[in-house]
Amino acid sequence: MGFGYMFFGCFFLVGTLGIPDIIGFILFYAGFCTASNHCNSFDNAKKVCRLGFFFSALDFAFDLCDWFDIDIFSAMVSNIFSSVYVLFLVCFYLVLFLSVADIAKEVDLPKIRSTAYSDMVIVPLFLVASQAIVIYVSENVEKLGDHASQIYGTGMLMSLIATVLTAVLLFRCYARICLEGDEDMERRAHDFKSPLEFYERNRKNKNNNNNKNGNAPRGNNNKKSKK
């Protein structure tokens, strides 16, 4: 269904792991394309994700300039772009949560749908607040002194919380919609599996092997007792 790709993709956005956001958008796009094979709920998310390639590439260019101390853009320009980028991410998450709510309604999972609507309010608030804190710290580093790092860390923590909330929702979608609903969906035209599907398949195989090994000794003991 593609939720495995989305789950891993959300950890690469907003610089949570220090990896370019474009990697996250690539994973999201792979998930949206896979989901589009089964339903139309993620068509709009797929279109917005394409814009993410452009914005994340520009964001990576700004990061490269910072890493190599290349003064092409002023601090004001960098802050303006960062704010625009965060606003785009807010739009992206809103479309994502609307898509999740739509598919949850289609498969009759009201709890997941309710969580998606809740995240539409909570996640954008955390993202905007995080960006506001980062800009405030960057503009007032000298005034804040030793407290600057603590306040900046609070902003990063809020961004991380937004990522975790999104990841929890997507994992619930994977667990409930993919695993319980796969039998009602169309068969894939290819064998391209998501990372979580590999994990789930290996877990099932391990459980089956444990069950077989657990049943074998009982049969042997019964035969000996009969003799």
Q: What is the DSSP string of 33-67?
A: HHHHTT-STTHHHHHHHHHHHHHHHHHHHHHHHHH
- Domain containing 49 equals 3-182
- What's the pLDDT at 91? 96
Helix (H, G, I), strand (E, B) or coil at 197: helix
- What's the pLDDT at 126? 95
Average pLDDT, the chain: 82
- What's the pLDDT at 25? 95
- What's the pLDDT at 190? 38
Which residues, at least 6 apart from 76, have a Cβ–Cβ distance to it below 8 Å? none
- What's the pLDDT at 216? 45
- What's the pLDDT at 90? 95
- What's the pLDDT at 162? 93
C-alpha 135/C-alpha 93 separation (Å) is 21
At residue 58, what is the residue type? L
Task: Specify if 95 maps to a domain.
Answer: yes
Report the predicted TM-score, pTM, of the whole model to 2 decimal places: 0.76
User: Taking Cα atoms as reference points, which of 94, 119, 107 lies closest to residue 44?
Assistant: 94
- What's the pLDDT at 223? 43
- What's the pLDDT at 201? 62
- What's the pLDDT at 227? 40
Structural domain tally of the chain? 1
Task: Specify if 205 maps to a domain.
Answer: no
In this prediction, the residues of the chain whose per-residue pLDDT falls under 50 are 179-194, 216-227
Task: Specify if 92 maps to a domain.
Answer: yes
